[in-house]
Chains A and B, each alone.
Chain A
Amino acid sequence: MKCFAYAQKLIVVLLLMMGLSACQSTPQSLYQKVGEQAGLERLVDAFINQIGQDEVIFHYFKQTNVSHFRAGFVSHLCDVLGGPCQYDGDSMVQIHTGMHINERDFNHAVDLLIAAMDEVGIAHPVQNQILAKLAPMRSEIIKI
């Protein structure tokens, strides 16, 4: 019983620590947290590199113009993560129609994006906040 109470206290302390660590920093946009334009370019380059070495989803990108994809994804991320950009490229639906991406391959791409974020040193909480911004787009990407 004592141990149980200690464990509960430990959880409360951990939750408080997570809360406090956020309070200490001044509010920053996700765009700033990933290192602005240069940081986004590093992230997208790492993601492209992950895709290039991947057997599962590389085939979706066979027809892709890499520099067009790179510029589009950087601009899109900049917009979505609160940076000073307005993404004016093709919509997610336009881009992914006819690709018939299934649940599995979508999640595999998420795994690769996480690997890319790890590679460029984006902190775990920031990674999750980025994923939270991107997750709602899934319905405009898969099974179309």
Chain B
Amino acid sequence: MKWFSALLLLSLSLGALADGKLLATPGVSQIEGSAGGGIVPWAQLAGYASEDEWAVSGFCSRGDVKNYRLDVCGVQANIFDRIELSYAEQDFDVPALNTNIEQDISAIKVRLYGDIVYSDWPQLSVGVQHKSLQDGTVATLVGAEHTSGNDVYVAMSKLHLGALNGYNWFWNITARYSEANQIGLLGFGGNNVDKQWLLEGSSAVFLSREFALGVEFREKQNNLGLGESHWRDVFIAWLPNKSISVTAAWLDLGSIAGVDKQTGWYVSITGYF
């Protein structure tokens, strides 16, 4: 974290400001630190760097549902709009048990093809999120096999200009190969379970240049037998310029660790340099 913060400050002092992408096209920051929506990593890379630029960005997000709260902060680097490196720290608060679970996620995403606006086919990227729990006590207690793991994903996205009666329409589909329980906060794997391909999707309509209204879905597996549910959200993102974005969402995370009806709100802010 310190190293990235130093990089962030260095770029600020050098005045490096990448603005080579169109407004809003990087998306926002998802809870595992990758550029995406709120819960789904998208094919776009974080920041406004075009293929001749580099960019850094930082974000903090909070998800607050009935019995739990997740705080995340992270940083992202975009190298020539080809490689995205990110690092995020999650703090999952369980007030009922008077405990919190911390997880670090280092990730890389590589753009393989395309541009969400201009290319004939959708933009295509692959990524890996390496997740590691700082203390695996809770994960082990609930039956997880590992306290760290890797999610591998393929993401595809496209922005269709004026597609909905003149309004811009965005979609992203991600396939993730994972054995993470509740994104890793409850460890990885379980009794006799294998990694699975899981489907995630997002779609949004741009009501103006600055406001996007969308929905997301994230398929989850139920390795621990605790009734882990698929995740859904409805979000509104405000991207007033190429320096900042603010996202608010309504979350429906279903059952978490056997406690159901986990709905609540989410807010996230990303700064771009």
Contacts and interface: CB of A to CB of B under 8 A. Distances in A.
Interface of A: 1, 3-4, 7-8, 11, 14-15, 18-19, 21-22, 102-104, 107-108, 110-111, 114, 123-126, 128-129, 131-132, 135, 138-139
A128 B166 contact: yes
Contacts, number: 86
12 contacts: A3-B250, A4-B250, A4-B263, A11-B213, A11-B234, A123-B166, A124-B209, A126-B166, A129-B166, A132-B162, A135-B117, A135-B118
A132 B250 CA distance: 32
B71 interface: no
Interface string B119-133: 000000000000000
Contacts of B163: 132
A101 to B, nearest CB: 11
Interface string B20-44: 1111000000000000000000000
* Interface size bracket, B side: 20 to 34
Nearest to B160: A132
Contact of B164 (A18, A103, A123): A18
A86 to B, nearest CB: 24
SS class, residues of chain A in contact with chain B = helix
A102 B165 contact: no
Contact of A125 (B160, B162, B261): B162
Interface stretch (B8-16, B47-55, B102-110, B177-185): B47-55
A128 B215 contact: no
B204 to A, nearest CB: 10
A4 B234 contact: yes
B166 A110 contact: no
B166 A107 contact: no
Given A18-B167, A125-B162, A125-B167, A3 B53 contact: no
Contact of B161 (A19, A123, A132, A139): A132
Contacts of A123: 166
A21 B22 CA distance: 27
B252 interface: yes
A114 B51 CA distance: 22
B162 A107 contact: no
A125 B163 CA distance: 9
Contact of A131 (B50, B161, B208): B161
Given A4-B263, A114-B209, 8 more contacts: A4-B232, A102-B51, A128-B162, A131-B162, A132-B162, A132-B163, A135-B118, A135-B161
B83 interface: no
B219 interface: no
